Amino acid sequence: MSRITLAACQYAIELLPDWQSYESHLRALVADAVQQGARLLLLPEYAGMALSGQLPAEVRSDLQASIAQLQPLIPRWLALCESLAKEHGIWLCPGSVAVLDDDGIYRNRCWLFGPDGLAGHQDKLIMTRFEREQWLIGAGSGLRVFETPFARIGILICYDSEFPLLGRTLTEAGVDLILAPSCTDTRAGFHRVRIGCQARALEGQVAVLQAPTAGLAPWSPALDINTGRAALYLPPDYGLPDDGVLAQSESETVEQSRWLLCELDFAALHDVRLRGQVFTRRDWCEQLDGRAELI
């Protein structure tokens, strides 16, 4: 399978006050992308926080209480995501949510579901200041590689995409596509993640798909302001976009969730590793052989 249609969601955190409204929302959103031909769907970091809309107003407006009291909803959410992936025969990354682990620490966790069910999860490894200092989210450990019929996939959640050694670890594991679910409240934050995603695409000669939160959610202290474009980034080289941007959303904010649909040609991606203008993937190790030392 050389070509596949990807869908990255520019996701508005809507206030959905009960389970029925949330399930209807997610089912309609997934069906919309599938009807447009998408085979892999990506939602953003903390998309699962939309579940907190089902909590009482005084709870969902409290930063710590909101993640504590949405925990019982997470298994039902994951079951819904798994059923949607099976029903449509797709790969679905429904974004992340803060999960309370057995050691009593909350971790920012993202899952990937395939046509046969759960493929696994990836935790965020490096926390932002907001997560460390205000939300008290702890770091995960280890990177995972997900095998699919069309490519090996890795996940770098938001801030993780800004660290080159994480991307390099996935590249050396044979990953062709990195999913980058993100959540940023300023244009500067969005551009930091965007630059990180483009750098990982350039260094590893891989594709990076970014899906952000967007729009306003004044009812949630965690996700009150959101900005960012969905995009698919590639290494700028022969046969690929000169600026490395295959597709991107029209604007940085939306009032309703929107999909960015784009077709990725893995054959063209692989070809630049053999016949490209540069071989950044191959030449990475040359910076580690001592020539970069100060003299």
pLDDT tens readout for residues 132-179: 999 999 999 999 999 999 999 999 999 999 999 999 999 999 999 999
Sign of the CA dihedral running 287, 291, 293, 295: negative
Which pLDDT does position 155 carry in this prediction?
98
Mean pLDDT of 253-264: 95
Query: How does residue 112 score in pLDDT terms, banded at 50, 70 and 90?
Result: very high
Predicted pLDDT at 291: 84
pLDDT at 293 exceeding the cut of 90: no
Predicted local confidence at residue 290, as pLDDT = 83
Quote the tokens at residue 226.
Answer: 């959101």
Predicted TM-score (pTM) of this structure: 0.97
In SS3 terms, 47-102 reads as HHHHHHHHCCHHHHCCHHHHHHHCHHHHHHHHHHHHHHHHHHCCEEECCEEEEECC
pLDDT of residue 294: 86
The closest alpha carbon to 127, from 100, 159, 163, belongs to 159
pLDDT in tens, 219-252: 999 899 999 999 999 999 999 999 999 999 999 9
Give yes or no for residue 195 having a pLDDT over 90: yes
In degrees to the nearest 10, what's the CA dihedral of 153, 283, 275, 245?
50
